[in-house]
Amino acid sequence: MQTIQYAGQPIQINDEGFLTDSSQWTPEIAEEIARETGVGPLNERHWAVLTFCREDAAQQGTPPGLRRISKLAGVQMKELYTLFPKGPGKLAARIAGLPKPKSCI
């Protein structure tokens, strides 16, 4: 675990870069992680995914897998890979300030 400056705030992250306390997350932090991971500036389609992930995780207690996102957030599987080309499974959760999903699907 280490502390890093995101959006001018000291934020705790684990070895893989995931926030350890999702309540520290802000949209500005999401923009910074997106830039850092090569996703680039976030558009409204990214935000549809990230908002769903945060809401679903709050309800279910665990971050959603990709199949769940594509079924319930109205974003097709193909588009998820366009939005987060370097691995939507990990990146959507990381940018949304959530832990790495346990789901393999």
Catalytic residue of the set 1, 8, 104, 105: 104
Q: Is 104 annotated as catalytic?
A: yes
Determine if 102 is a binding residue for another protein (CB under 8 A).
no
**Residue 88 host element (H or E):** helix 88-95
Measured at the CA of 97, the angle between CA 81 and CA 8, to 5 degrees, comes to 120
| Rg (the chain; Cα; Å) | 13
Determine if 88 is a binding residue for another protein (CB under 8 A).
yes
Q: How far is the CB of 43 from another protein (least distance, A)?
A: 20
The residue (of 17 and 65) whose beta carbon lies closer to another protein is: 65
User: In the block, which residue shows the tokens 């957030």?
Assistant: 73
Which residue among 22, 51, 90, 99 contacts another protein (CB under 8 A)? Answer: 90
**Residue 72 host element (H or E):** helix 66-72
Determine if 45 is a binding residue for another protein (CB under 8 A).
no
